[in-house]
Structure 1
Amino acid sequence: MTGNESTKPEGPQHKRNMTRRKVVVAGGAAVVAVGGAGALAMTASADEAADTAAASASASSTAETCYKLTSETTEGPYYIDADKLRQDITEDNEGIPLTLQLKVIDAETCKPLANAAVDVWHCDALGLYSGYESFSQGGGTAPTDAPTGTPTGEPPTGEPPAGGGGGGHEEPTSDTRYLRGTWKTDKKGCVTFTSVFPGWYQGRTVHIHTKVHVDGEWTDAGYEGGHACHTGQFFFDEESVLLSAEVEPYSTSTTTRTTLTEDTIYDQSGTTGGLLKLKYNKKNIAKGVTASITMGVSPDETNDGT
């Protein structure tokens, strides 16, 4: 403080000026605060709009997927009622390891179908069905003196077998039950089976059969009562089948193969028609394949495929 400066108390005018400055500053802060709140409000509003749009798009996408019923197909003649409650259906059969991951949803509500009984059955690496070896026409194995991986002999003659294609049900001719099984879906509608990559036989592309049963009862003897709400087939893309054909024992098959586009059962509709989503090492498919699909079904309807 210098000697020229006044030391007398500040007067009312000064206080009024200070008060005014405080109000102006406070008002400015208030404006900033309001402006910030407005910005936050606008940001929140934009975020909410974006979230709403995303949710709407997601709901629309889900609805489109959900409302498509998975194609119904024929049961084929080689079905055996659910008498093997198991997830591993391999029974030491040779072939490329396959993990089959299935999910079942109500196509109308999109909700998972829990506690449903899912059957799967398919031929072995050379086209034979368990319980029906005398009926199914697999390619057989190559003679022991044939070069490794080289198909030999001529394809079987006669009419293509009805296995998996059409025809009425046939009674089993043997007690074998490999590559067949039934298991229940969990609360998320999911069930997983362990098997081997199927082979092929005359007249059909590579496929797996399935049935979904509901409203029945689980017993020690199997799944009883209820009804089949879905009967379908799963299919494999050509790339995977061609790669599998280079691996033993598939490579020893002498059967003419029907391609996916030539098959009379697959309706060429992709996932809706039963085309599986596959994961595997393209350089070494022999290590194993994981196949997955979601089935949209109508639990109140009966679709037994007969």
Structure 2
Amino acid sequence: MTEHQGPAHKRNMTRRRVVIAGGAAVAAVAVGGGIAVNAFADETTGANATGSTESAESCYKLTSETTEGPYYIDADKIRQDITEDKDGIPLTLRLKVIDSETCKPLKNAAVDIWHCDALGIYSGYESLSTGGGAGTPPSGAPTDAPSGDPSGMPTGEPPSGAPGGGTGGIHEEPTDDERYLRGTWKTDNAGRVEFKTIFPGWYRGRCVHIHTKVHVDGEWTDAGYEGGHTCHTGQFYFEEEAVLASAEVEPYSTSTTERTTLTEDTIYDQSGTAGGLLKLKYRKNDIAKGVIATITVGVDPDATHDGTDDAVQPGASAPASASAS
């Protein structure tokens, strides 16, 4: 892991000033990696809503770093609505990016998100994806989706076509020109960015998730975002109650792929909001109407985390932890 730290005394003094602020800091930001209370108060009424009574120190907690996974395509779609023509439950993803030490928002950062469709297929990698449903799969996609109960957690390296590309972090070259459910947008002066997409589906070996990267110190041009470095690579996760509700809605309900739960997942570190668990708001009896997901991402803008060799992977000593991404 490579880090480029600023003057230590400068960051330490900033930290002291924020801690002295005490209650003011608490009112502005909830638990590290959690919701900024004032910014997203109307979206925190779901089962995972977090209160604002944590200590000021909690806002310094970094959001967990994870593997990039094999299916990242570098910022070639500068847009907020990444849905294209994909079917699924409408999802509004609202993010706030802050410096985990100072709690100040990071403005003009480039935020990437990418995820699979309702049946577990990634754009750009349709032939390598391991999701599937009752309908006709994409060209080249597996047609023999697993059935029955799994015999146990996988051991050793996965097959070359499985998510993870053999290691969980090795990049695969795209196999097609599709780019749905991928996009990059910049944070505003308050560190906020919003995406329109669909609720992700699932595929073999992983719970439901969204990938993300945060880039800083680059330049926004007419061609997009150039330069800078990646200060955070992570993933966002969904509570089981919402995933089970989505599974009752088409096209999710047509999936024939065995689902991995949040507690079974080998990438999610089980740390709640700091680990990327989203705050969700939706109609409990009608999730098909749409979901609003919010989270504040705490990053170290001076660090470099590209998600390829320095990612934190729970259980990394066990081969099974790299089975998918």
Show the counterpart of 1:136: 129
Q: Return the letter of the residue paired with 1:131.
A: G
Q: Which residue of 2 aligns with 1:161?
A: 162
Equivalent residue, structure 1, for 2:89: 96
Q: Work out which of the two has the higher radius of gyration on C-alpha atoms and give 1 or 2.
A: 1
Preserved contact between residue 126 and residue 141 of structure 1 (Cα < 8 Å)? no
Aligned partners of 2:91 and 2:199 also within 8 Å: yes
Match of 2:235 among 233, 236, 240: 233
Q: 1:113 aligns with which of 103, 106, 113?
A: 106
Of the three residues 239, 244, 247, the one matched with 1:245 is 247
Change (3 A) 1:118 1:54: closer
Partner of 1:76: 69
Show the counterpart of 1:203: 205
Q: Which has the higher helix share?
A: 1
Residues in 2 aligned to 1:123 and 1:56: alpha-carbon distance in whole angstroms: 37
Greater RCO (Cα-Cα under 8 Å, separation 6 or more):
2
Residue identity in the other structure for 2:68: E
Q: Which residue is 1:30 aligned to?
A: none
Residue of structure 1 in register with 2:299 after alignment: 297
Partners in 2 of 1:54 and 1:167 — Cα distance? 41
User: Scaled by the length of structure 1, what TM-score is found?
Assistant: 0.76
Cα distance in 2 for residues equivalent to 1:174 and 1:55: 50
Runs of 4+ in structure 1 deviating by more than 3 angstroms, as ranges, are: 52-62, 156-160
Q: C-alpha separation between the residues in 2 aligned to 1:171 and 1:153?
A: 23
Counterparts of 2:62 and 2:222, CA distance in 1 = 32
Aligned residues: 247
Q: Cα deviation per residue 1:85-135 (whole Å; 9 max; x = unaligned)?
A: 000000010000000000000001100000000000000000000000011
Moved more, 64-73 or 111-120: 64-73
- Segments of structure 1 that go 5 or more residues without pairing to the other structure are 1-51, 144-151
- Aligned twin of 2:179: 177
Taking structure 2 as the reference length, the TM-score comes to 0.72
Structure 2 unmatched ranges of 5 or more: 1-20, 29-52, 137-142, 151-157, 309-325
3-state secondary structure, aligned to 1:90: coil
Deviation at residue 272 of structure 1 after TM alignment: 0.2
